[in-house]
Every structure is written in structure tokens, then in C-alpha cells.
Structure 1
Amino acid sequence: MQTTLENHPLPHLFWRRWHWLLWVVVVAGVYSWAIGGLHFTGIQESAGSVSRSILKGLLHPDWAYVYNGSGEDLSSLILQTLAIAFLGTFVSALISVPFAFWAARTDQHWAHLRSGSGKVVLTLIRTFPEIVLAIMFIKAVGPGSYAGVLAVSIHSIGMLGKLFSESLENMDRGAEEAIRSAGGNRSEILTLATLPTIFPEFISYTLYRFEIAVRSASILGMVGAGGIGTPLIFAIQTRSWSRVGIILLGIIVMVLAIDSLSERLRKKLI
């Protein structure tokens, strides 16, 4: 017992035994602060009738809106939403690669400042939500799918750049060391070792980002950035709940199909 006390002083033993209590107090304090900031104003009198109308519309969707040949039907706008998400993700995946090499930390001491500045830039890009970027681009290029593509691509650069840089930092350097020991130069190391090693993980992250972009593109239309969100917000404003029901059903089917296909592709890559 004496040896144990000498090796582990009483304050250290007390901290090891009761440190979880400090975390409980911290978490409880955060929850209390968050709940205290909420101001419950009650439920409006029309909430019941509105909820019943929404439920009725969801259970009886407007099937005639699925396709009517106008180019503004559900099928056409779902394809437009997919196009916005795909093009925005494809462009951002290409641009994110140099950002990833810029932000990736290496063992060389001089490169810490370079990687630190790259991480700051990627953080600044991610700071702006896609819907804010969409509103800004609508003011710059006008409403439509072009603004949606720009919003998705710019925001995705920040996300993919961060994920790509972490892949570079955690990659297996065995192939690089082998080529370097055989006398290979930097371009040969990049093309024969670095890129083939990280390419499957890059593709996997890009597919995952595409899943998120599909959901985002469905919402950006609510501010005028094209896609299925535009008729959705119009249907909500006019209380056309059957139209809302078929649009939501189309979004659910689209997201489930993309998630399933993307998951299968990622499993084959990794």
C-alpha cells in the first residue's frame, strides 16, 4: 500500500477516480445554457388543422405532376437537381486536389506554415453555408441552376479539401520510400506512388460528398438556385399539400437511390 501511494500521489488517484464527475458537470452546464436560451412560445391554434392538411396531402400526392412534358414537372426537376449536385461535386473534386496538397501536413518543419495557411483557407471556405452562397451567387449571376452549381462547388471545395488533406497525412508512405530509394524524382513519386495510393479514398470521399450535395441541391431551389426546391417552396406557400407530397416523395426516392448506389461503389473502391 505504501509503494502504491508513493507511486501514485493522492491528488492523482482522486483525479483518476473522479474526473468523470467534472465532465458530467460540464455537460450538464452546457445543456442548461442551451435549454435556457430557448423560448417556448406555445402552439398556434391553427396547428391542428394545418397538420391534418399536410398529412392528407402527403397521403394523397399529386401523381399527375410526376411527368407532364412541360419541363417543369417532377421528373425534369429531379434530373436538374441531380445535374446541379453532380456538376458541383465534380468541379469541386478537381479543384480540391491542389488545396489538399497545400493543406496536408508533412514531417518537414518548414512546411508547417504552408499547411497551416492551407487549413485556414479551407476553413474560411467552409464557413459560408451553401444556402448563403446560393443567395450571393443569385445576386451575381441571376437565379437558376448556374447559381446552384456555384454554391455547391464552392462549399464542397472546403469539405473535400479537408478530407483529401487528411488522407494525404495518413496515407501509407511505403511506396513513396521504395521509389525514392530506387532514385525516383518527385514527379515519379507523385504519379507512381502518391496518387495511386490515395485515389480510391479520394473517389470514396467524392461519392460521399455527392450524396450530401444531392440533399443540398434539393433545398437551394427554395432561394431560386434551380432544382426541385423551387416548386416545393411554391407549393408550400400556396398550401398545395398534394403537390408537396409528391415532391417530397420524389426527393426521398432520389436520395435513397443515390445513397444505395454510392454505398455499393464505395465498397468496391475500399
Structure 2
Amino acid sequence: PWWLRTALRGVFAVIRAVPEVIIALILLTVTGLTPFTGALALGIAGIGTQGKWVYETIESVQEGASEAVRAAGGSTAEVTRWALWPAAAPTLMSFALYRFEINIRTSAVLGLVGAGGIGSMLSNYTNFRQWDTVGMLLIVVVIATMLMDAVSGAIRRRIMEGARARDVARSS
């Protein structure tokens, strides 16, 4: 129904509007200073972004396959399985990898506000003015981010190339 779609879009928009750091600060009052707080903040923020990407991807899927499954007597679950999922899966997987990459970068920032992880270590060593350790941690964060960016970029390219090849084969 249209009202459910509108309500979900509103919820996703509100979640996306609140930065991860603010979500973490709110969660700190409930969960305390633990790495779970950071993970939960990243998860909540990710729901808003992933939700938007999912509904935009599903809306952009061409109607032909869905109509064919419906014409053959397919139910909503069958339309989803045989028409929507094959068309949307490569894009959705690519977006999931991209969101994971964003979470890697953001996790260091969340640690600075007390949500645990390497950001918390950065904050502690900065307070104690142990600059050699701070420098090494920054190098680790940069290298980990660059590696994750390279790996997820390669995986995303493979996924999308496979999807394009499948689309070309179908149109032939």
C-alpha cells in the first residue's frame, strides 16, 4: 500500500538525516562506553541509507520481467524471486559493499566520541601525547581504509560487469 511506502521512506529519511556520531551519543546513554555502541550506531545509520538504496533500486527495475511472471500466474513472492531479485541483486550487493566501506571509515570517528574501537585508542593516546603511537594508528586506519576501498571496488566492478553481461545476453 502507498501509505506504508510513504511511512517507510519518511523513517529512512529521518534516520539518514541524523549523523552516526549523534546516534552514538544518544546510544551512549543507554549502552555505555562499549564497542557495541559504535556498532549499533553504524547499524542504525546504515539502515536509513540501505533502505533508500533498496527502494530506489527496486523502483528502477524494468517492469517486463515482473509482468511476465504475473501473466504466468506468479504470486508476489514469485515476482520478487524470479523478476525483482535477479534484476536488483547486483546493484544491492554493490551498495551493501559500499556501505560497509563507509562504516570502516566512520568507525574511527565514532571511537573518538567514546564508542570504542581504534578511534577510542586514538583519543586515549592523543590525550597522553604518545605521538608515535598516534601516528602508527593513523597509518593503520588509512591503510585499512584504502585496502577496503580497493577490495570492495574490485568486487563491485565484478558484480556490475556480471550484471551488464547478463543484461546483454537477455536482450540478444
How far apart, CA to CA, are the structure 2 residues paired with 1:169 and 1:126?
19
Read off the aligned partner of 1:254 and give its amino acid letter: A
1:168 aligns to what SS in structure 2?
A: helix
1:225 CA displacement: 1.1
1:120 CA displacement: 1.1
**Greater alpha carbon shift after TM alignment, 168-177 vs 201-210:** 168-177
Query: What 5-or-longer segments of structure 2 have no aligned partner?
Result: 161-172
| Residue 149 (structure 1) aligned to one of 39, 43, 59 | 39
How far apart, CA to CA, are the structure 2 residues paired with 1:243 and 1:206?
32
Where does residue 144 of structure 2 map in the other structure?
Answer: 254
1:127 CA displacement: 2.1
Where does residue 214 of structure 1 map in the other structure?
Answer: 104
Alignment root-mean-square deviation, CA: 1.3
Choose 1 or 2 for highest CA Rg: 1
Read off the aligned partner of 2:85 and give its amino acid letter: L
| Residue 193 (structure 1) aligned to one of 65, 79, 83 | 83
1:239 CA displacement: 2.2
Q: When the two structures are superposed, what TM-score results if normalisation uses the length of structure 2?
A: 0.88
Q: When the two structures are superposed, what TM-score results if normalisation uses the length of structure 1?
A: 0.57
Runs of 4+ in 1 over 3 A off after TM superposition: none
Where does residue 131 of structure 2 map in the other structure?
Answer: 241
Read off the aligned partner of 2:25 and give its amino acid letter: I
Read off the aligned partner of 1:203 and give its amino acid letter: M
Query: What 5-or-longer segments of structure 1 have no aligned partner?
Result: 1-109
- Give CA deviations for 1:68-89 in whole Å, capped at 9, x if unaligned: xxxxxxxxxxxxxxxxxxxxxx
**1:216-235 equivalence runs, <5 A:** 216-235=106-125
How far apart, CA to CA, are the structure 2 residues paired with 1:246 and 1:149?
23
- Give CA deviations for 1:121-157 in whole Å, capped at 9, x if unaligned: 1111112211111122121012111111110000110
Read off the aligned partner of 1:269 and give its amino acid letter: I
1:176 CA displacement: 0.8
How far apart, CA to CA, are the structure 1 residues paired with 2:76 and 2:132?
60
Higher helix share: 2
Where does residue 158 of structure 2 map in the other structure?
Answer: 268
How many residues are paired up?
A: 160
Higher relative contact order (CA 8 A, sep 6+): 1
2:9 is the counterpart of 1:122:
no
Where does residue 175 of structure 1 map in the other structure?
Answer: 65
1:198 CA displacement: 0.9
How far apart, CA to CA, are the structure 2 residues paired with 1:171 and 1:184?
17
